[in-house]
Structure 1
């Protein structure tokens, strides 16, 4: 049975577990979680390549890979990502690298007959001052947050690319826009991480060293929504089997907390007992970024991991793996 909400179709169609499934970016935060979810879901023909094995910015190499492997399904989770500092200081890299990666993968998938493709974007595609919670139709209605506008433009280009493929070729390709994600295999480096893994590393190091204070950027007042990456992976498979429409779909929890509250929670989970200070000379970024997840909920999906439980398990994973993590 097919139903329609706001012009989008919801028609359950289970993916073939034996068909070849390529996860672009399968070693990253999202890609590795999707890989694990697909394995748990019975997919037996998964394909992945590390960036050392396949440079997706190399168009010829990307096309050659698709010609060789001929995947039926694709999740495009490969991207250059980073926090406020990385985005602010390297906007050319975030725009150029991401446009090349996604254009090469989408064009190669089109050329080699990929049946179903899911493009993963980011909630930063929406205007800085978009009405909260942010609906999908807020896209392109206002100015972007300047600290990550280059990355956002790249992701917006990806959304429009998917919509263009649907219009020109009629393929059931879709886009999903996750809120702030966290979990195993995140980037915990001091220079390249997003806010939550940066806080986990900072408070863990302070707890280990016995530091009397921890200093965070900004005022702590911006509100953010956080989704565990295992929930995100589950939502991706759900959408590939339940959703077919041109509109990008927000993926989140529908609730948010302040940065100050998240810092207090991480301090508690890591066992840090010192004082937290806030460097108000540093930027806050967008004041609030909460996604309207009505469209996702209409497909029948809900998250299952609470923020407290997710943070506790992520801190545990970080402590077990921190010695082998990048810088």
Structure 2
């Protein structure tokens, strides 16, 4: 990936789960990296320029993009379906503001390449998700607000291309991403960090919503970061799915998590609770065409993430959390 050597690269959300390994890969490729985040500076890599900025403010986005060649727009709002249902404005409004302001600032500042991180949530219910089928249906009700907000960011890139000929945007749609530096907050964590936190803290019986039959496509953050760099380099524009391409039942996932515990808890399935869409797996033909394939098996990735959480429980919940903070901080 020689295009990064000597380039000035901005990673918004560069202190997070995908941002951390992406920053390390960019530095290894010879890039000069700027990280923007609302996290404490201690969470940033020591070899980057760190700016603590609120990207809901347009002028902050201009400051972030000034003098930058490539932008990786990772910053967003991540939370469980239950939190989405409870606090939809906390998903919808910040995502719209950050996405709109960042792309506008990048356009105005003459950025050469712009990677927009979309989401599996943009897809309507289907057994397999194909990039070009996204506009044939509505987002799943389980991702309604975040899915529409992410779709607006995708449309914004199309709008600039049509009106201004600015075809610099590549859209990446990651599957269900997990890894170190994930959000482990018990009130808003996604399925893997939620399971890991509860298992490590010794919950027994271990109660899991649904019946375990739902199928999801999980991918490690390091694989996503590598795929993002490939997408920015190899795709002229358009969208690409980044996933494992393999469906894993939630029941299998739970077994994988508890297998890393010293003492196996009793697993109880609460079938009175919702289980989400039955199946969500990515088609990866486009990703494979650019040479991408996930390299970290789920077993290895879960073991690494469990070990990271065990060692870092004291910092795991100290990142900026839009659900417990003033959204206009």
Do both proteins adopt the same fold according to a TM-score greater than 0.5, normalized to the shorter chain?
yes
- Of 211, 224, 229 in structure 2, the residue corresponding to residue 219 of structure 1 is 211
* Inter-partner Cα distance in structure 1 for 2:188 and 2:265: 25
| 1:303 corresponds to | 294
Correspondence 1:165 to 2:150: no
Flag structure 2 segments of 5+ consecutive residues without an equivalent: 40-51, 319-329
| Deviations 1:113-137, CA, capped at 9 Å, x for gaps | 0000100111111002x2x321112
Structure 2 counterpart SS, 1:140: helix
| 2:36 corresponds to | 49
Cα distance, 1:166 vs. partner? 2.5
Name the structure, 1 or 2, with higher relative contact order (CA <8 Å, separation 6+).
Answer: 1
Give the TM-score normalised by structure 2: 0.89
Give the TM-score normalised by structure 1: 0.89
Cα distance, 1:14 vs. partner? 4.1
Instruction: Determine if contact 2:214/2:278 at 8 Å carries over to the other structure.
Output: yes
| 2:233 corresponds to | 241
Correspondence 1:325 to 2:324: no
Structure 1 counterpart SS, 2:10: strand
Correspondence 1:34 to 2:22: yes
Correspondence 1:262 to 2:258: no
**Which residues in structure 2 correspond to 1:139-158 (within 5 Å)?**
139-158=134-153
Cα distance, 1:233 vs. partner? 0.4
| Deviations 1:72-107, CA, capped at 9 Å, x for gaps | 100000001111121111111111110100111000
| Deviations 1:147-204, CA, capped at 9 Å, x for gaps | 2210000111111112222333233321000000011100011011110110111111
Instruction: Determine if contact 1:37/1:230 at 8 Å carries over to the other structure.
Output: no
Structure 1 counterpart SS, 2:37: coil
RMSD across aligned C-alpha pairs, in angstroms? 1.5
Cα distance, 1:41 vs. partner? 2.1
Alignment coverage as a number of residue pairs? 305
**Which residues in structure 2 correspond to 1:1-327 (within 5 Å)?**
14-43=2-31, 45-51=32-38, 53-66=52-65, 69-128=66-125, 130=126, 132-168=127-163, 169-206=165-202, 211-246=203-238, 248-326=239-317
| 1:6 corresponds to | none
* Inter-partner Cα distance in structure 2 for 1:104 and 1:266: 39
Structure 2 counterpart SS, 1:48: strand
Structure 1 counterpart SS, 2:54: coil
* Inter-partner Cα distance in structure 1 for 2:223 and 2:142: 27
Instruction: Determine if contact 1:115/1:171 at 8 Å carries over to the other structure.
Output: no
